[in-house]
Amino acid sequence: MNSPLQTDLYQLTMAAAYWHSGTADQESVFHAFFRQLPFGGGYAIAAGLESVLEWVETFHFAQHDIAYLGELRTPRGELMFPPEFLKFLSELRLDLSIDAVAEGEPVFAHEPLLRVQGPILHAQLVETALLNMVNFQTLVATKAARMVDAAGGAPVVEFGYRRAQGPDGALSASRAAWMGGCAGTSNVLAGQRYGIPVRGTHAHSWVMSFDEETEAFDRYAEAMPDNSILLVDTYDTLQGVRNAILTARKLRERGHELGGIRLDSGDLAWLSQQARMLLDEAGFAEVKIVASNDLDESIIESLRQQGARIDVWGVGTRLVTGGDQAALGGVYKLAALRQPDGSWKPRIKRSEQSAKSSIPGRLQVRRFRNRSEWVGDAIYDEDRGFTGDPVIVDPADPVRRKKLVGESFDLLQPVWRGGRRVGATQGLDEARERCRAGLAALHPGVRRAVNPHRYPAGLERGLWQYRETLLEARA
């Protein structure tokens, strides 16, 4: 359920203050971006835009929202909001222009994922929900892409619902995981809502509900003759594999084939090799081995290096929660204000570290391509354009510069104008394909999970110089 109250109180107190001070209609530009790639990786996958647009689409303060806000009191007991402001809110219709990077696109630090332009009160009111959606889904889509990469072409199925951050977190995590390249989900609602293939095995409780493991396997296979993956580790894993083979033989006699077995504990490399041997010797070379148990990209990679014979990876907790990184630190910063003469006045927030200072202007990202490989991205001010040849400067290390050559295209495209969506409809499967193709266009060193190459993404030289001048003036 979408609500304009999915926000931090300070957005509403600032809105009241803009309204009170007569600056509510000041035309502004904000950018949503992150400063550091998640998981120590070389890329991130942009996600969450669809949820943002759905939220903006239904944005309005209903009677019960206004009634609630009208009851709020300050710590001193005074009414928080004047009734005239609440009347203003009840009539408010967002008047924003949004440009965004398409979902599924690989993106890099400092690049705006969304650019929001409009009256400052309006642009401010969307900050919290927008960041919540973009930060979480980008985090999970990126984690999924890393796991899918580590699996080297074998399917990764998302099993995270029970360990996700609440029911809404589970649903958007399943969506983001599919975008990042997962092959399916155990989340049935995500299957219905987004058309993601639903997949699964069975739990230990099924085996524990019978006296004998063999009986549990037989009964399950009878009920699901064409969709049986048997969990073999409830008691003794290799004995479990032998029992699964007995069931597989009975199934075959009835004209069906066992789909697979699942390993969920112990040394997954060794057990999968032993299980493969037993299955092959028994004539079940097609039976798949599924593995689960607190997997992530580094364990998957390590298991593959150890020669594990795992055909399908089931991943829950560390995918839908981000695992080693629980949140993406994406921010939403004011970057320019329109002057009465129509020009844009840049706005900058200084920081102790120059790389953390915000980037002024109305920003765009231009991506350069050499044949099928991307060579670099320039963040530039759309109104100032490029100063001479496209040279980028790394804001974290200004001596790192690179001249970009090749074909180029702009990443931010109009998605919202005059109260409605614009541009081509971007479906979830399209986003998944964009992610696949985008990752294929990256140098393998950039995709490496540990200590990757830094993809050249930086500030267009003219913009970097301009930003330095502004920072000096503020020093």
Ligand X SMILES: O=P(O)(O)OC[C@H]1O[C@H](OP(=O)(O)OP(=O)(O)O)[C@H](O)[C@@H]1O
Ligand Y SMILES: O=C(O)c1cccnc1
Applying CB under 6 A, the residues found at the interface with ligand X are 159, 162-163, 203-205, 264, 292-295, 314-318
By CB under 6 A, tell whether 266 contacts ligand ATP: yes
The nearest distance, CB 263 to ligand Y, in angstroms, is 11
The nearest distance, CB 302 to ligand ATP, in angstroms, is 5
Nearest to 48 by CA among 170, 176, 157: 176
If the CB atoms of residues 143 and 333 are measured against ligand X, the closer one turns out to be 143
Q: Which does 266 bind (CB under 5 to 8 A by kind): ligand ATP, ligand Y, ligand X, none?
A: ligand ATP
The nearest distance, CB 296 to ligand Y, in angstroms, is 15
Among 133, 295, 335, 463, binds ligand ATP (CB under 6 A): 295
Q: Which does 186 bind (CB under 5 to 8 A by kind): ligand X, ligand ATP, ligand Y, none?
A: ligand Y
Among 48, 184, 314, 458, binds ligand Y (CB under 6 A): 314
Considering only residues 216 to 275 of the shown chain, the ones binding ligand Y according to CB under 6 A are: 262
The nearest distance, CB 313 to ligand ATP, in angstroms, is 10
The nearest distance, CB 207 to ligand Y, in angstroms, is 12
Q: What number of chain residues touch ligand ATP (CB under 6 A)?
A: 12
If the CB atoms of residues 274 and 317 are measured against ligand X, the closer one turns out to be 317
The nearest distance, CB 209 to ligand X, in angstroms, is 12
By CB under 6 A, tell whether 323 contacts ligand Y: no
The nearest distance, CB 165 to ligand Y, in angstroms, is 16
If the CB atoms of residues 79 and 188 are measured against ligand Y, the closer one turns out to be 188
Please classify residue 150 by burial: count the beta carbons closer than 10 Å to its beta carbon, then call 0-12 exposed, 13-18 middle and 19+ buried: buried
Site string for ligand Y, 168-187 (x = CB under 6 A): ------------------x-
If the CB atoms of residues 227 and 387 are measured against ligand Y, the closer one turns out to be 227
Nearest-angstrom CA–CA distance, 142 and 453: 17
The nearest distance, CB 138 to ligand ATP, in angstroms, is 25
Considering only residues 144 to 163 of the shown chain, the ones binding ligand Y according to CB under 6 A are: 159
By CB under 6 A, tell whether 236 contacts ligand ATP: no
Give contact residues for ligand ATP (rule: CB under 6 A).
265-269, 293-295, 299, 302-303, 306
Give contact residues for ligand Y (rule: CB under 6 A).
159, 186, 200-201, 262, 292, 314, 316
